[in-house]
Structure 1
Amino acid sequence: MLFTTAPRNVQLRPMGLRLCRASIAPRFVSPRSPSQILCRRLASTTPTKPAANGLKAAPERKYMYPERLCIYHAGTGRVTFLACLKLSTIFVFAFFGFVVTPTYIEKTGWGDTTLRTVAAAVGPLLIVGYLTSPFVSFMHLRLPPFARVSEETLRSFVKRLPAQAQTTELDITTMSAIAKPRVSKVKLSELRPANQRLGIVNYVRDTTAENATRKWYNFRAVGKFNVQHNKSPRVRGVWEEIAATITKQAA
């Protein structure tokens, strides 16, 4: 017996047809230059702050200057030389005070030679500490957000400093006896020009209230500063404007 089967009518659905065409048709990618690819990658990695409603917020605003702007730098050579000088006097004190002096005391007692070794140990340490303690290595100015946008806003903020001297803060960095940085937070209104210690100290401030809040075992607050030629590479003229402001408010 011969059986024959009639072909069935097969209807393709529109979705299946589109899938078949998509799988068969070649994909054409528009060529892009390397600069366009780099811009796309940078845009995809730009940090954004999450919005309150869960949507993607605008990219975070970039500032030209940091919050603590270095306006004064004494110079790498000066800072390095002063640190080495302080450490050298400590080694001299340790050698003459704990090696040479006990040897002379054991042999000759407290004679002239022993007193000279004591002076050789203590003298350089006291002299270097007295003359170099006011030396200012760095000075940073704390900027509000609007003054960090561009150089024009920074200059405008600096010109208005006489009216904002009570709130403007400076971070003045000096060195301790062991060449460790010491940062003093000073209001601009507290600084006064001076001429002390044979002209070494040219700026002073009153530290009575700050020292009253410190414990007896804490170091005393730094109130005498020696500011020399400015070698800050970031900005020019900002410290000079501040120095003029300090001179005007003291007049």
Structure 2
Amino acid sequence: MTAEDQTQTGPWETVKRGLQLSPELRRGIGFTVFLAAVTALGRLVVPVGAQKILDEGLLGSGGPDLPYVFAVAALGTAALLVTTAANYVMNRRLFVVSEHALAALRRRTFRHIHDLSMLHQQSERRGALTARVTTDIDQISQFLQQGGMVLVTSTAQIIVATVVMVFYSWQLAIAVWIVFIPVTWLIKWLQKHLASAYTSVRRSVSKMLSAVAESVVGAGTVRAYGVGARTSERLDESIEEHRRDQTRAISRSALSFG
């Protein structure tokens, strides 16, 4: 067990570390956060608009007020168009910036591997180094384009929803947060188990790629010494271990967020 396996970092620590290692991610981050706030406002347009139409447009003291209903509906439609455009621009910026940053990170990783001494490279299994610039980078890309995007938009949505609840009823806001805070602790506890499961997946991927690379590169040696059966058995074991770890990680993820 390495120190890397023993130390589990949360999503915010991951984001901070990513910003330190990839300065390209900081480009336009303020504008991206602003777009996330606009997108979060768009999620409140429909419920607020529906409440205004029902309470003041259709069920008002003076009877139905159709011009007011049409005006609120038109404003709501315009607001949804604006927030939809903001959501598109935000997603596009996140995808473009993250891919540029990951391309630079991949180049730096390749450069670092090439700068390592031959003794160090010989002591590492081939698949371990390959996984650093393939599957690891792919996982970072997936986090930035999906989990990172959800992290930004959800944070903005929580802030905006809290402000709206306080405006309508501060008692309701307090009740919601009393329920919400224990849920955040539960999610954090679940994230630790998920991080442990996906650490095992990361390790098993490296082991599987090592077994595949060694069986291909060393095919001549395997045939010469007649150890094909043993090599095939080790390859099957590494594939089965990866399948088992991946299934366990996906099951925990589905149980936590499904």
TM-score when scaled to structure 2?
Answer: 0.30
Q: Which has the higher strand share?
A: 1
Structure showing greater relative contact order (alpha-carbon pairs closer than 8 Å, 6 or more residues apart): 2
Q: Which has the higher helix share?
A: 2
TM-score when scaled to structure 1?
Answer: 0.30
